[in-house]
Each structure stands twice: as structure tokens, then as C-alpha cells.
Amino acid sequence: MKSINVVIDRKQVSVAPGSTILDAAQSIGIDIPTLCYMRLHNTEYKCQPASCRICVVEVEGRRNLCPACATPVMEGMVIKTSSMRVLSARRMIVELMISDHPNDCLTCTKSGACELQDLARKTGVVDIHLSGKSQSEYEIRENKAIVRDMSKCIMCRRCEQMCSDIQSVHALSGVDRGFESVVGTAFDESLDNTMCVGCGQCVAVCPVGALMEKDDTDQVIKALADTDMTVVFQTAPATRVAIGEEFGLEPGTDVTGKLVTSLKDLGADYVFDTDFAADLTIMEEGTELIDRLNKFLNGEKTALPLLTSCCPGWVNFYESNYPDMLDLPSTAKSPQGMFGAVAKNYFAEKLNIDRKKMFVVSVMPCTAKKIEADREELKEDGNPDVDVVLTTREVARLIKLANIDFVNLPDGDYDSPLGESTGAAVIFGVTGGVLEAALRTVYEVLEKKTLPRVEFEAVRGFDGLKVATVTIVGQDINVAVAHGLSNARKVMEEIKNGNPRNLHAVEVMACPGGCIGGGGQPYHYGDGDILKARTNATYQIDEAKVIRKSHENPAIKALYEEYYEEPGSEIAHHQLHTRYTYRERY
């Protein structure tokens, strides 16, 4: 295919047909500021409504300035990206946005990570020449996971496209006109009354403070200050390869030990690893899969494919969208849910304290985990197994608030007995990881022999939907991995229409890339290299582990011997499993 030749800021460049001016400029290192535009590399996500006009450029021979993100290149184009005309237009656009924006930057949680702030600096806007107060004011709305301050909405519509195109949830859309235009919900309903699943991907892509995770750090500070309370932290697999970014470290830096030390310095009595509970999840969920496969192989009727149940955004999605298929998901709680149950029952008993005197804090990459922790199924007599969920970003803010020099901390070790884990557990943080971890155990249990190679490469990678076949005991077991809920919907519709691929197990993660791209992780704003770095680091941690299969974890074996008896036992089923309910939404 013949390339198209253009000139950008006196530089010659050849690009493929269909490329935009922005694509061409980026290919030769020319920075054109953007706001509404965002492309998440390695996924299908691309937002380019060309509504903000920040990326306008001057094209020789054209009267009007053109949006670089949406204007295709043409042979012989001569483009200026920073002429005085362009700079003047950009400054006016930024001033207009700021004139209709609350001036609470000092107290806004997004301050320092706000793209509108960055644009003001880039365009040299130090004074607003437009008078009057903000024209659009809205009541702040919040639920357990997400806070919406639509007075700060700049109508970039990134959240809308993420919610509709990538997640296929359609909880958000543009409403009203003029100064009152905003991205909101139908009939101005609360998110709890919409199809919202709480995944937080809208928060992850919002360039300003219009959408934020609900900050629960105050509750944790109070608990840490209460000398009568035993405070227990658990840290999820994906947090350890991302939180370092909040302290200036390279994406993918493994800071497991520093995270443990920082939480101890905050005053935690115990710091445990959610990876331990991930291994426990494989024992329970893997046993459930083995039971269903055995029934299938014996010609008995059983619910297949088994759907993973680790991702709360995904659980919320199928509970509201597929009420007639609630027999398919594994009944195993998520690792967060299992850890909470183990901590408030087994560990509290070992410490000889009332479970109500134990305060469990989860450090999670996910906003939906806040909703999950509030489920009645994860409580005992009204007392939650997990008291508070903090996202990776919230924990980073708390560490900074405590003036802890994170980067120079020594590496600490997780406490025992709930801190020992395997390589299978850590890969829960990436798309395909839960299924791969389960296959490592299911294969060896059914085959009664050691895997020749523990890696299942076929379920790895950033393809939105991956399908593979694994041969176990002479039987082809068909599996699928989906990340992003639009891909999950495709799989569910297939299953609903007869399961033509004859799938036996399906893993779904609501967020692109899995938990490493969770709605509570440090902002990556479409930089796919960041997700790749986090993913690669996760697999490196797995490879470095001495034990890489969940069923070989000695701490898990000891827990069953001492307390849970065996996977799927009566007490295990009572504490480690859950149920699903149709949750009608509009």
C-alpha cells in the first residue's frame, strides 16, 4: 500500500493511508496536545470525538483550523502544529473550559494528575480573561465506589465511550445542551439505579475530577488510631507492580516489599498477601471445575461452561444482564472475599479476639471491590468480612500523607500464616491469569502427574477474546478468556445461543488488561506500554517463585488440615462460597 507524504513543522513524514494528522505527528515525535482524544493501545479502545478542539492545527490552503485527532492526512499536506494562530486558539479553548470549571484545585483529589491543569501549563494560560462564575453547577453524587462531580465535566466523552464501546454497559451518555451539557445518567438517576457495574473504567479515563473513586482513607486512619482495634491489611497481586508509579518509579517496578513496609509504618498490625487467598480460590474454584468436568466426562448433566467469579465488576454485570444463567458462575468467592472470611474467622479465632474487633483493609486495583465488600453475602450478622477497600491510588495518597519515603524503604515480608503464596496466585492480576492458575492445578489433579510446562501461553496476551483447547485425560477442554465487558457480552451471547464453541471454562475480567488495568490503578491515560510493563513484571514474579502451583502451597495445605478440612467441605462452602441474585437495573 502506497504511503502518504506530508510535511509537519518542516519535517517530512510518510504514513499509511487512513492515518490522522495526530498519528503522523506522533510518529516523528511531535507533541500535539489532546484532551478528548485517547487511544488505549493493545485494545480496541479509541476515543476521538474531536469535540474539545485542543488538538487543532493549521493546514496550508485551508481556511479553518483542523482537529488533528480526526483529520486524515492527504498527499502533500503542509501542517503547522504550533503557529501563533494555533496557539491563540488553544489558549482561548482552555480559558473557556476553565471559566466553566470549579476553582477548587487545591482540594480536588485529581490535582496533580489533572489533564486540564497540564493543558493550562502547556498553553501558557496563567490568567482567565473571561469573567463570571461557572455556568453549570451540579449536585455531587456518589455510591460505594464512584463519586460524580459533574460541575467539573468538560464533555470530552471519554467515559461515555469507555462505558458504551469497551464495556457495553451504556450507563453514561451526553445529556442537555450548551452550558448545561454534561455526561450523565438517564433521567439523572444514581449510578446504583443504572446498569453501572462499578468497574471504574470511567474514572480511569476521566481527564479531570468529574469522576473519582470514593475516598475511604478517613475510615482507615480512624481504625489505625484506635488502639482497641486489630488492623489487618491485604494487598492484591496487581497493586505491587503499579503503585510505584505514584512515587516516580518506572511502570512495572515490583515494590512488594516496600508496600508491606509502608503499611507497617502506617500502623498496620498485620500485612498479608491476597495472593494467599488467590491460591485458596484456585483450590475451591478448581475443585468445582473438576467436579463439573468429571460429571461432563461421565455423561452427566452439569452447568458448563464454568465462569470465573473473581472480578466483582463482571459479577455485577452477569447478575444484571444474564439472570437466567446464574448457575454457570463458580460459587467461589473472590480472593478478597475469601481472605476477609479467613481473617475474620480463622485468624481472629487464633488471636482469640472478636471478629468485630478486627478491621480488615483491602488494597485493591479496583473500584468495584468497594461494592463487593458491601454485599450481604460477604457479611456475618451484619459485620463485613472486609471493612474498607482502598484503591492503589488511595493507598498511595495515604502513604504520602504519612510522609513515608516510599522509594527508599527497606523491603518487608508478609506476615504468616496468610502471607505465603505461589506464582499461580500473582498472575491473577493479568488477563488470563486466573484460568492459567486453575489449569495448572486441574491438570495435575486429573492427570495425576506433573505438568511438563506450567505456562499456558495460549491464554496470555492482550487480545480481547482468546479461545484455546487444552487436552486433559485425553479430553479436549475448551476455554476462553475475555477482558473488557463488551468481549464478555460476546461470549455470553454465544453461550446463550447454544455454546457453539463447546466451552468448558471461561475467565472474564471487566477491565482492559485485567486487574493491572483496573479502575483504581495509577492513571495510564491510554499508554499501552504501561499495561505491558505491569503485565511483564507480573509474569516475572511468577517465574521467580519457587512454588508456582496453588495446590503445592504449604500454607494452604496447613489451613485445610487445621480448619477447612478439604476443598468444598461444609465449613469451606459456608465461609468461602457465595450465591448470586438477579439485580434488576435500568
Query: What is the DSSP annotation of 237-305?
Result: GGGGGTGGGGGTPPTT---HHHHHHHHHHHT-SEEEEHHHHHHHHHHHHHHHHHHHHHHHHTT-----S
Per annotation, catalytic residue among 309, 330, 334, 362:
330
Among residues 288, 420, 436, 444, the one annotated as catalytic is 288
Identify the residue whose cell numbers are 504449604: 554
Choice among 75, 377, 457, 561 that is catalytic: 377
Catalytic residue check, 369: yes
C-alpha dist (Å) from residue 32 to 4, 53, 55, 94, 381:
20, 11, 6, 14, 56
Q: Answer yes or no: 213 catalytic.
A: no
Counting beta carbons within 10 angstroms of the beta carbon of residue 366, is it exposed (0 to 12), middle (13 to 18) or buried (19 or more)?
A: buried
**Angstrom distance (rounded) from CA 377 to CA 379:** 6
Active site residue 372: yes
Q: Which of 152, 258, 369, 466 is catalytic?
A: 369
80 is catalytic: no
The residue from 285, 394, 420, 507 that is catalytic is 285
Residue 145: alpha-carbon gap to chain centroid:
13
Q: Which of 310, 311, 366, 511 is catalytic?
A: 310
Known catalytic residue at 137: no
- Residue 75 has which C-alpha cell? 498527499
How many other CB atoms are found less than 10 A from the CB of residue 108? 18
- 3-state SS, residue 444: helix
Exactly one of 372, 436, 444, 507 is catalytic; which is it?
A: 372
Phi and psi at residue 509, to the nearest 5°: -120, 130
To the query of whether residue 196 is one of the catalytic residues in this protein, the response is no
**Among candidate residues 521, 520, 515, 517, the one with its CA nearest the CA of residue 429:** 515
CA 146, CA 159: separation in Å to the nearest integer?
A: 13
* Annotated catalytic residue within 47, 320, 515, 549: 515
| DSSP helix/strand/coil, 483 | strand
Maximum distance among all alpha carbons in the chain? 80
Give the residue numbers marked as catalytic: 285, 288, 310, 330, 369, 372, 377, 515
